[in-house]
Amino acid sequence: MLNCGYERYDLIEGRGQFSIRGGIVDIALNSKIGIRIEFWGDEVDSIRDFSISSQRSISTLKNITIYPAYEYILEDDLEKVCERIKEDNKNFKNQEMIEEDIEQIKAGNYISKIDKYFDSFYTKQASIFDYLKKDYCVFIDEIGKIRQRLINVKNDNNNLSQALIEKERRIPDAISNMLELENIEEILNKKQIIYIEKQDTRIEYQAEKFKFNYRDVNYYKSEIQGLFEELEKGIKEKKRIYILLSSKEKAKKLKGLLDEKEILSKIEEKLNQTIIAKSNETVVTISVGELSSGFENYDLNQLVIIADELITGEKRKKRVVHTAFSEGEQIIVFNDLKVGDFVVHKKYGIGIYVGVNTIKADGTIKDYIKIKYQKDDILYIPTSDLDSIRKYVGGDKIQPKINRLGSKDWENTKARVKKNLREVAKELIELYAKREKSQGYAFSKDNPWQTEFEEKFPYQETDDQLRSIEEVKKDMETPRPMDRLLCGDVGYGKTEVAIRAAFKAALDRKTSCIFSTYDSFS
């Protein structure tokens, strides 16, 4: 695991960490999900994935592939790498800088140095093209832009190299080893290539290469008459025209408009590659689907695809929000902390945040969160381990008791909470057993009015909103009484979930109440 870039911890709390406790090995796949492997001697007894924040198992797995924590895997041990670095740079002027880098690499902080000493870390080197076999097909989207980008990267690297030389700094191997434009084009000429170019681009290619010509399609609501004219023209030219809309209601509405204009059209509920490939009809096909933009491809029998927003001129707004209804605790945001705030550490309990200190240790400079406990004891936490603390949320009027480092107060507090939780759990089990026997009202399935109402929502729903809406509706449609709590911070879209549920209830002539602190509700 160490050679794959993982670090060993007592308890995994984030990406790139693993822990060993007896016959149990925990490995963090990312910041949220970990893998727990239980051994019976030398044999694997079970494999499970679990939530890192709650430590609860999610499911049992038959097998799992563990990838390296970084894209770099050590070819040799660090001692040999350091010897090669020293030998390869023996004529470099600034030997003090080389020695400092070697010390950091020996201490295990080698990831940030690989780009700089790439040739010393890896004796055998290859580019991405070495992994492409002869039967691979390479797609090149607008080669003119790619060529210009390569020229810009080369110029940037030359400027950076010149600045490093003036400062007597070493030019990283990752920069000096980059392939030139001529080398890349020579390699690509030996591959099977498909070029994708806009219609207005004029570039000649070798005969054995493929090229797709296309153009952007742009229609807007203010020019809806122009859309009708283009559709009529396209039908006469025997183009295959497809229009993708976001809902069945919009599809029916557009079909009615086209019928009024006597433009041949039909609605296809499900559109797939087979239908598109076999279709030769000179008719506008309307279907439900999503596409970011429209286009016309001249090589695929004049295929025209028109997207929803290109017709309506409206694009559903995307609200930038954090995950609101996800499982587990929310990691503390550094900018939310102010000096004097109460914080809770998973292991040491409640303390007071007093600032950030920059500390140099073993040649490495790091920022540490400083937390004060009883008797002015200080705990330093690396900013990379922020997920181990939470902001105290007991209420502004409640002054919490500060814990003491080294005491058992925090452990005793957690033990009492666990005991109380068991009692609450017992009461809840009895309550839910009674609720299971109760009979509630089963609301009707969604009808077109519900769909039309939801389509008027001006924002793009988040994944958590969609999941919550689906779960609430599912509860409402069962005869069992619904008992659901929807939690989320201000501005995360809880009201929209409640409004849709209330509308669903109103369609069945049932009353619902929504209470809000906003002035827009009463």
pLDDT tens-place string over residues 232-254: 888 888 888 888 887 888 888 88
- Are 222 and 261 contained in the same domain? yes
CB 372 within 8 A of CB 352: yes
Q: Pick the range with the lowest mean pLDDT from 207-211, 269-273, 503-507.
A: 207-211
Phi-psi region of 355 (alpha: psi -120 to 50; beta: other; left: phi over 0): left
CB-count exposure of residue 258 (10 Å: 0-12, 13-18, 19+): buried
- Are 204 and 250 contained in the same domain? no
- Are 228 and 201 contained in the same domain? no
- Are 230 and 207 contained in the same domain? no
Residue 273 within a domain: yes
- Are 360 and 401 contained in the same domain? yes
- Are 250 and 294 contained in the same domain? yes
Give the CATH number for residue 244: 3.40.50.11140
List pLDDT tens digits, range 144-200: 888 888 888 888 888 888 888 888 888 888 788 888 778 887 887 777 777 777 655
Indicate whether 222 pLDDT > 80.
no
Residue 425 within a domain: no
- How high is the pLDDT of residue 320? 47
Tokens matching residue 188: 């690509």
Residue 400 within a domain: yes
- How high is the pLDDT of residue 517? 53
Q: What is the mean pLDDT of residues 65-94?
A: 84
Farthest-apart Cα atoms in the chain, separation: 87
The residue that leads in pLDDT, 184 or 515, is: 184
The residue that leads in pLDDT, 262 or 191, is: 262
The residue that leads in pLDDT, 300 or 203, is: 300
Q: Pick the range with the lowest mean pLDDT from 39-43, 102-106, 365-369.
A: 365-369
Q: Pick the range with the lowest mean pLDDT from 41-45, 95-99, 300-304, 401-405.
A: 300-304
- Are 257 and 341 contained in the same domain? no
List pLDDT tens digits, range 110-148: 777 888 888 888 887 777 888 777 777 888 877 788 888
Query: What's the mean per-residue pLDDT of the chain?
Result: 78
Q: Which of 78, 161, 91, 180 is nearest to 120 (CA)?
A: 78
- How high is the pLDDT of residue 37? 92
- How high is the pLDDT of residue 487? 83
Tokens matching residue 332: 């503390």
Indicate whether 207 pLDDT > 80.
no
- How high is the pLDDT of residue 393? 76
CB 213 within 8 A of CB 298: yes
Tokens matching residue 353: 């945040």
Query: Quick one: which H or E segment has residue 364?
Result: strand 364-372
Rounded CA-CA distance 377/117 in Å is: 42
Q: DSSP for 77-121?
A: -HHHHHHHHHHHTTT-S-HHHHHHHHHHHHTT--GGGTTTTHHHH
Integer distance in angstroms from the first to the last C-alpha of the chain?
Answer: 58
CB-count exposure of residue 354 (10 Å: 0-12, 13-18, 19+): middle
Residue 74 within a domain: no
List pLDDT tens digits, range 455-497: 788 777 887 888 889 999 998 998 888 888 888 777 778 888 9
CB 201 within 8 A of CB 143: no
Q: Residue 231: which domain range?
A: 218-315
Q: Who contacts 2 (Cβ-Cβ below 8 Å, separation ≥6)?
A: 8
Task: List Cα–Cα distances, 254 to 149, 305, 454, in angstroms.
Answer: 42, 15, 19
Indicate whether 312 pLDDT > 60.
no
Residue 441 within a domain: no
Domain boundary at 174, 195, 211, which?
211
Quick one: three-class SS letters along 266-326?
A: EECCCCCHHHHHHCCCCCEEEEECCCCCEEEECCCCCEEEECHHHHHCCCCEECCCCCCCC
CB 179 within 8 A of CB 188: no
**DSSP-assigned beta bridge partners for residue 296:** 215, 304
Residue 230 within a domain: yes
- Are 377 and 458 contained in the same domain? no
Rounded CA-CA distance 427/136 in Å is: 62
Residue 322 within a domain: no
- How high is the pLDDT of residue 280? 63
Indicate whether 20 pLDDT > 60.
yes
Number of structural domains (the chain) is 5
Residue 225 within a domain: yes
The residue that leads in pLDDT, 498 or 74, is: 498
- Are 229 and 311 contained in the same domain? yes
